[in-house]
């Protein structure tokens, strides 16, 4: 199973590379999982390519999450889990976001399902998504100050 997906990973990343040489900044393979690190500027374009290209056909956006690597810069990693239902394949797109400009392009125009997933990241990590039509806090009360899932936000006690 893992060998198969590794072979496919090569195909997927090569396809993206032939479309745009700069789109694959890094290719990570770990325990049969494939992560393609995409430059922030090319995130939406790569996402559209992954969805629209009939050979890739990643039609379902399963999940968006963020990892805070504080104090390493760029500290935020956004992970997008894509699924191709017809081709039975999973892939992860990753882009890095700095603490100075915690902004990324919204993927709502590509997959409307990104709506709540991005709102959750915005709510808990304080990363803004350009082009999101309804970027409000989703889990926390509106008057809440801070982004609790950042590593420098204490689990207990006063901030």
Partner 1 sequence: MTTVETAIGTAKTMVLNMGPQHPSTHGVLRVLLELDGENVVSSVPDIGYLHTGIEKSCEDKTYSQVITLTDRMDYLNPLGNNLVYCLAVEKLLGLEPPKRAQYIRVMMVELQRISSHLVWLGTHAIDMGAMSVMLYCFREREEILKIFERFAGQRMMTSYIRIGGVALQPPAGWREMVKKFVDMMPARIDEYEALLTENRIWQGRLKGVGYLPAEQLIALSTTGPGLRAAGVNYDNRKMFPYSSYEEFDFDVPLRTESDCYARYLVRVAEMRESVKIVRQAMDKITEEGAIKAEAPGIIPPEREKMKTEMEALIYHFKIFTEGFSPPPGEAFAAVESPRGELGCFVASDGSPKPLRVHFRGPSFVNLQALPFMVQGQLIADVVASIGTIDIVLGEVDR
Distance CA(130)–CA(124), nearest Å, equals: 17
The reply on whether position 85 binds partner 1 by CB under 8 A is yes
Exactly one of 11, 41, 48, 67 binds partner 1 (CB under 8 A); which one? Answer: 67
d(CA 17, CA 101): 27
Q: Which residue stretch of 9-17, 40-48, 96-104, 130-138 sits at the interface with partner 1 (rule: CB under 8 A)?
A: 130-138
Cα–Cα distance between 9 and 112 in angstroms, integer?
26
Q: Is 10 in the site for partner 1 (CB under 8 A)?
A: no
Smallest distance from the beta carbon of 10 to partner 1, in angstroms?
19
Decide: is 35 part of the binding site for partner 1 (CB under 8 A). Answer: yes
| Residue 124 lies near partner 1 (rule: CB under 8 A) | yes
How many whole angstroms separate alpha carbon 25 and alpha carbon 52? 21
Whose structure tokens read 């006690």?
A: 157
Q: Is residue 30 close enough to count as binding partner 1 by CB under 8 A?
A: yes
Residue 18 touching partner 1 (CB under 8 A): no
Going through the chain in order, the beta strands assigned E by DSSP cover 26-30, 33-37, 60-68, 76-84, 89-97, 103-105, 128-130
Contact positions vs partner 1 (CB under 8 A): 30-31, 33, 35, 59-63, 65-69, 79, 81, 85, 88, 90, 92, 111-117, 120, 124, 136-142, 148-149, 151, 153, 155
């Amino acid at each position: 199973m893992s060998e198969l997906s590794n072979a496919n990973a090569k195909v997927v990343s090569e396809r993206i590379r032939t479309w745009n040489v700069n789109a694959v900044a890094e290719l990570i393979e770990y325990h049969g999982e494939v992560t393609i690190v995409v430059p922030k500027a090319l995130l939406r374009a790569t996402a559209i390519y992954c969805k629209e290209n009939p050979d890739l056909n990643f039609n379902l956006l399963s999940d968006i999450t963020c990892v805070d690597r504080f104090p390493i810069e760029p500290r935020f990693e956004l992970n997008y889990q894509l699924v191709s239902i017809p081709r039975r394949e999973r892939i992860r797109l990753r882009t890095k976001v700095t603490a100075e400009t915690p902004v990324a392009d919204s993927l709502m125009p590509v997959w409307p399902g990104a709506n709540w997933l991005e709102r959750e990241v915005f709510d808990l990590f304080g990363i803004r998504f350009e082009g999101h039509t309804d970027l409000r806090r989703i889990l926390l009360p509106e008057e809440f100050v801070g982004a609790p899932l950042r590593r420098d936000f204490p689990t207990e006690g006063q901030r």
